[in-house]
Every structure is written in structure tokens, then in C-alpha cells.
A and B are shown apart, each in its own frame.
Chain A
């Protein structure tokens, strides 16, 4: 079993101890205005790790490297995220305790049953497939299956990652940090709706009868993308305004930066 995600930078602990990183959900709303100023200075800070969210625990953890995500040999899984409540998760404490052993056995049994059932169901599907598809079509079906994987893994994913990387790079510029989330979401929504619209656009006017594909899909698509971009722009403008307003109040020292 491979399930090792990329390691989190371990130096993150130091950043996590700083008070400037609130565990808050939406940076735009939760970040104290001061953070914006402090941010410039702290340019080199590293992301807080897993644990930083777990409030005081992170500080206590000191220099230890989180054991997180060292995953999964059959029975014993370390709980990768030690949140207060998470400690009882998933049957993963010290081995050897009686109850734990039982649970591990049950888990193993469940997994075995799922696996056997899955193989059986899959083979049933394969049988149906071999009955339905014959001759030349059967030879070309693997090409279509492989093509689907190639399009996903070698086209769509690299493209998505590349765009994500560009957006992240773009976000370094002045005053862009507040709106980067909105920009990212807007691009993603425009992308996914376009992907779904592509077959409709290709087949426009080629429906087998006038009630199939009756719309003007080009116009519809343009309207849809315009709506998404417009909404994104409005949200971004509002976010930036709010930032400017808050910063001016902060610098005037009126209400302690709030």
C-alpha cells in the first residue's frame, strides 16, 4: 500500500507557534488587520503543519516531527491528525491491547470480505462486457479506456496543476493575496463548466432531431462564463475594498487595527 502524501515542511512548527497565524477558516475575515502588515516582514514563513490547528498541542509538541500520515500497514494505522477528539479514531493506538486486537481482526475481516466481493462483482462486469462487445470493437475498447485515463492524467490534471501554479505565482503581487481565493475559484468554475459544455458546443445543430440540442449553446456558454466571471469580479472588488477600508482604519490607529 502506498499512501504517503508529500511531507509537510517540518520547520512549520516554528511558524505555528507564532500568534500571527489564526486557525481561522477564512483568512479574509479572520485575519487581524495587523497580519497584513506583519505579513510582509514574515515573508519567509513556512506553512503551519497539520498540528498547528490543534491549538495548544502544537506548542507542546515542540520540535517533534509529526508522525502524521505514515500510513497504513494492514492493521495498524497511526491516527495522522491528532486532534483532541481524533485520538480515539480508527483503532490505532498501541498494539497489544486485547480489545484493539479484536478490532484489528474485525477490520481485517471486513476488508477481506470487501475485497473478495469487489473482485467477484468486477469479474461479473467483465463477463457482461465480453458478452456485449465482440470482434473489432473488443480490440478497440481498451484504446478508449486507456484514452480516458490519458485525457485525465496527462491532459486535464497537468493543465489544472499548471493553472493553479500560475495563480499561486500571480498571488505574490501587491494586494493580490486577498482576492486569490476568489480568482482561483472563478477560474475553476469557468473551467469545469466549459469542459462539460464542449460536447454540446461540438454537436450544436447536429442533433438527431430538432428537440435534441435545441438551444444556442454557444450563446448560452458565453452567457454562463460571463456570469461566472462577473460574479467573481464583483466578489473580488468587494474583498479588496474591505481590505483597503480596514487597513486605513488600522493605520489611523482608531480602533486598534480592527
Chain B
């Protein structure tokens, strides 16, 4: 018995496998990738700030927007990437040039760069989406791998653009051919009746992206929460109407003793009981919790301005702060507040959330809340502030 021949580039008769469709869908995917990369880079710098960079404290909701966009563009990239792969799929079966020549070498290198691009991107989107579910079934560390793959993707993308630039410029603009229906099946009725146009394909792809986007944006935009059927979070589900990333139990904080003290280590040592903290002048901030995993929710916080505490202990202007949690272990048991955040009037040592004492899962008895910062740095269960400089 003879096996059927393997497919070749010619086995895919649909004229929609065309450089024009690849260019068009590639543009959208490119835009999504660039937004995703830049917002991801911003998030990375938030958590590992290089010395040359001062993260601004305003707009207060900046991180909420950028990280929401990061997860949204990543999710929407799933249908875009699939559409792009579909468009160029016949090329997978293109014959490798033979015998070896300079041109053949170029072709091989180009196809290798595409292999890198596709592999890195598919895995990046996959682990990124699963991270929003806090599901890590792979053997490598998520955060570092996600970050390294992002650079590899951008590199491979630049190489891809360099190789395809002539083709891209040649097919950049819309042509009347975009509107011409094409046959989908040899025995079908004429294409004018049954056919899909390139424009029709573009619309379908945009529609798919929009559908996925609308069904998941609700984790960052509470108004869309009820229809966020493809989102792993609902912004209003959780104690006190706010989701939780790390519960007190996970953090090893079980109960808070009656003799709990909060201390500030600076030029003067300060020490307060919870009652004494409550007796200090209280301020209010309306600030969002914006998680690296994309969900976010606004909330009303009440507590003592960190700025006031710094003044009370006689810290110099422009002091940095280390925030120490009662959390056992973990990367985020301590965090640092750069000077601009420590001195910001919105930055609080919060005792209350939405009118009530903090829930234990939200950091009772006290937590940090600052504008334009990722949720993982809004340290919970704080029991000590250390003035660093």
C-alpha cells in the first residue's frame, strides 16, 4: 500500500494564503506584541528598578492600565497568532533549496529564525495566560523565563522584519484585490457568491480578537466583570470586595497577637500598638490594587500617611524605606519604597479598606498602599518600616 504524498506548498489552494493577508494580520499582531512587550518591560522595571530610572507616582492608576493592557494584548494575541500562522502555513511545506548554495543557506537561516519566533511566541502566550490562573505545570521559573522569552521574541521579530521588508512594503497598502471574492472549493458556486474576500477574512480575525478581548477585559475593568467569562478573576469577588493573590494562610500569617507592635527604625525609633496607630491622624486614598496577573480593582483606603511617619521619626527628605512584613519567606516579605513613593501624600500605611478594618487576607493589621505600583509591592501584614537613607 502506498502512503499518500506529504503535502507541499501547493497543497493549499486558498488564495487567502497570501503575502497581503500575512502583512495585514502581521501588522495587528505586531502592534499587540509591541504593546505587550513595552507594558511588560514597565512591569519588570517596577519590580527590579534600574538605578537610572525613577518610576513616577502619577498617574496613580498607570500600572493598572499598563498591566491590564499587558494581559489583554497577550490574550488577544492568541487568535491573531493563530490567524497569522494559518496564513503562512503552506510555507511550512516549502521545499528546502538543494543543492547547498549561498541562497540556500539564507533560506535555512530565515526558517530557523521563524522557528525561534513561533516557538517562543506560542510558549510565551501559553505560560502567560496560565500564569493569570496561577497554574504552573512547567519545570522552569515563570517570571524569568517569561521575561527572557520576550527579548528573544523581539529579536526574532526584528530579524523577521528585516527579511520580509520588501514583501511587507509591497503589500502594505490595500488593493482592489482585497475586495475580490475568491473560491473556497473547486466545485462550489462562483466565488462572487460563496467566496470569502481578504477583507472578509480581516474582519473575521478582528472580530475573533474583539470577542476574546471583551470576554476577558472584565478582570481589569469592573464594568465588564459580569461578562468576563474568559477571565480567571472577577474584580469584586473576594473579602471586602477585593480579590486576593496571597492569602494569610499561604503567607504563614495565622493570627495577630494582642501585644502586636508596629515599629519605625529611623533616626528616632518609634513603636505603636494598633490602638496607638489608630489614634494618629488618619488620611484617605482612593487607589487601585493592580496585580501583575492583570486584574485590578479600585478601593478606598484609610490609614496613616507614610510621609507623616517619616516626619515623626525625623527621617531626612528623600529617604528610602524598607517595608518588612510578618510574612514567612517568599520574595515579597520585604519591599522597598523609593523616595518619591515614600513622600507621596497618597501613600498610606493602611488600616482600613472600604470602611472596615483590613481583612486578614488583605494584610491586617496594616499594609502599604501606594499609587502606580504593582500589587506584589503593596506589602501586607507590615510590622516594621526601616529608613534606609
B107 touches A189 (CB 8 A): no
CB pair A80 B229 closer than 8 Å:
no
Q: Which of B196-229 contact A (CB under 8 A)?
A: 196-197, 199-200, 204, 207-208, 211-212, 215-216, 229
Interface residues of A in 192-238 (CB under 8 A from B): 192-193, 195-197, 199-200, 203, 206-215, 217, 220-221, 223-224, 228
Interface flags, A144-155, vs B, CB<8A=1, else 0 = 111011011100
* B65 interfacial by beta-carbon distance below 8 Å: no
Q: Does B12 contact A (CB under 8 A)?
A: yes
Tell me, yes or no, whether B62 is within 8 Å of chain A by CB: no
A242 contact set on B, CB distance < 8 A: none
Contact between chains at A119 and B119 (CB < 8 Å): no
Q: Identify which of B152, B188, B192, B195 gathers the most chain A CB atoms within 10 Å of its CB.
A: B192
Instruction: Choose one: A74, A153, A160, A220; the contact of B166 (CB below 8 Å).
Output: A74
Smallest distance from the beta carbon of A198 to chain B beta carbons, Å?
A: 10
Set B130, B140, B165, B233: member contacting A110, Cβ < 8 A: B165
Q: Given A5-B19, A81-B20, A110-B165, A177–B159 Cβ distance below 8 Å?
A: no
| Cβ-defined contact, A27 with B195, below 8 A | yes
Residue contact A118 to B162, C-beta cutoff 8 Å: yes
A121 to B183, CA, bound (A): 42
Are A197 and B9 in contact (CB-based, < 8 A)?
no
Q: Is B75 close to A, CB under 8 A? A: yes
Interface string of A72-94 (1 = CB under 8 A from B): 10111111110101100111100
- How many of chain A's residues have a CB under 8 angstroms from any CB in B? 131
- Looking at the assembled complex, report how far the CB atom of B88 sits from the nearest CB atom of chain A, in whole angstroms: 9
> Is A1 located at the chain interface by the 8 A CB criterion?
yes
Q: Is B260 an interface residue (CB 8 A)?
A: no
CB closest chain-A residue, reference B91: A2
Interface residues on B, range: 35 or more
Residue B56 is within 8 A (CB to CB) of chain A in the complex: no
Label chain B's interface by main secondary structure: helix
User: Across the interface, which residues of A come within 8 angstroms of B169, CB to CB?
Assistant: 77, 89-91, 107
Contacts of B269 in A (CB 8 A): none
Q: Does B78 contact A (CB under 8 A)?
A: yes
**Residue in chain A with minimal CB distance to B246:** A209
With an 8 A cutoff between CB atoms, is B141 at the interface? yes
Q: Are B187 and A209 in contact (CB under 8 A)?
A: no
Q: In the complex, how many angstroms separate the beta carbon of A137 from the nearest chain B beta carbon?
A: 4
Tell me which residues from 101 to 131 in chain B have a Cβ below 8 Å from any Cβ of chain A. 106-107, 110-111, 113, 115-116, 118-120, 122-123, 126, 129-130
Q: Does B355 contact A (CB under 8 A)?
A: no
Residue B134 lies at the interface, judged by CB distance under 8 Å to chain A: yes
The answer to whether A23 and B180 have CB atoms under 8 Å apart is: yes
Stretch from B142-150, B304-312, B341-349, B376-384 at the A interface: B142-150
How far is A85 from B172 in the complex, measured between Cα atoms in Å? 12
Cβ contacts under 8 Å, B179 to chain A: 23-25, 53
Q: Bound state CA distance, A46 and B190, in angstroms?
A: 7
Which candidate, B24-32, B79-87, B273-281, B317-325, is the interface stretch facing chain A? Answer: B79-87
Is A65 interfacial (CB 8 A cutoff)? no
User: Are the CB atoms of A2 and B191 closer together than 8 Å?
Assistant: no
Q: Does B373 contact A (CB under 8 A)?
A: no
Q: Is B18 an interface residue (CB 8 A)?
A: yes
State whether the Cβ of B154 lies closer than 8 Å to any Cβ in chain A.
yes
Docked-complex contact A111 and B162, CB < 8 angstroms: yes
Given the known A-B contacts A36-B193, A181-B200, are A124 and B151 also in contact in the complex, defined by CB atoms under 8 Å? yes
For residue A96, CB closer than 8 A to chain B, the reply is no
B284 an interface residue at 8 Å Cβ cutoff? no
| 10 A–B pairs (Cβ distance < 8 Å), ordered by A | A2-B107, A24-B192, A39-B193, A45-B190, A77-B169, A111-B162, A153-B85, A177-B188, A213-B133, A223-B229
The list of the 4 closest CB pairs from A to B, nearest first, reads A122-B155, A118-B158, A125-B151, A132-B144
Give chain B's interface residues, CB within 8 Å of chain A: 9-10, 12-15, 17-20, 75, 78-79, 82, 85-86, 89-92, 94, 106-107, 110-111, 113, 115-116, 118-120, 122-123, 126, 129-130, 133-135, 138-141, 144-145, 147-167, 169-173, 175-185, 187-197, 199-200, 204, 207-208, 211-212, 215-216, 229-230, 232-234, 237-238, 243-244, 247, 250, 361
8 additional contacts (CB under 8 A) given A21-B192, A140-B138, A156-B82:
A3-B91, A48-B191, A54-B177, A114-B158, A131-B144, A131-B148, A152-B85, A212-B134
Residues of A within 8 A of B (CB): 1-8, 15, 20-27, 30-31, 35-36, 39-40, 42-43, 45-48, 50-55, 69, 71-72, 74-81, 83, 85-86, 89-92, 107, 110-115, 117-126, 128-129, 131-133, 136-138, 140-141, 144-146, 148-149, 151-153, 156-157, 160-161, 164-165, 167-169, 171-172, 177-178, 180-181, 184-185, 188-189, 192-193, 195-197, 199-200, 203, 206-215, 217, 220-221, 223-224, 228
